[in-house]
Chains A and B, each alone.
Chain A
Amino acid sequence: MHPATRRKLLLALVPLFVAVVLLQARIDPFVAELHKGSRTPFAGLTTEFILGPLLGMQQAVAGLLWVRADEFFHEGDYDAILPMVRMVTWLDPHNLDVYITGAWHLAYNFTDSSERSDRRYIPAAQKLLEEGDANNPGVYDIAFELGWENTDKIKDYQRAYHWYRICAYERKGADERGELTKPVPMFVWHQLAHSLVRLGRIDESIEVWRKALAMSNELVRQDPKDFSKRNVRDSERHNLELTLKRKFSRYTHEVDWSIDGKRTKSIDPYTGQPTPADAYLFLSEDDIRQKREQFTNVGEPVPPMSVGSPRPPAVVPKWETAFDVRPTFVEDKVLDLKGQFNVGDGARVTIRLHDENWRPPQLKAFTFDIDQSVTLMQDQHSVRQGTWGRKIDMSKDPKMYSFKSERYFLVFEFDPRGTSPFIQDRFGWSGEGMTDRKYLYVESDKNPPNRILRKVYRITRAQVFRRAPITEADVFPAAEYARLQKQASPPPPAQ
Chain B
Amino acid sequence: MQIVSLTMLQPVVELNTQPQYADNTTLWHHITESLHQSLLNVLSLLLAILPGILALVVALAIFTAIGMAFSALLRRALAAVKFDERLARGRNSLDWAPSTSPTELTARISFWACVLLGLLIGVSAFDASYATATMQTGALLPYLTRIVGGVFLLIAGTLVARFLARSVLIGAVNAQLEYARFLSLGVKWLVLVLTAATVLDHLQIGGVVVELAFGILFGGIVLTLALAVGLGSRDLVSRSLESRSEHPAESSSIHHPTISEESIRHF
Partners in one complex: no
Q: Report which A residues bind B (CB closer than 8 A).
A: none
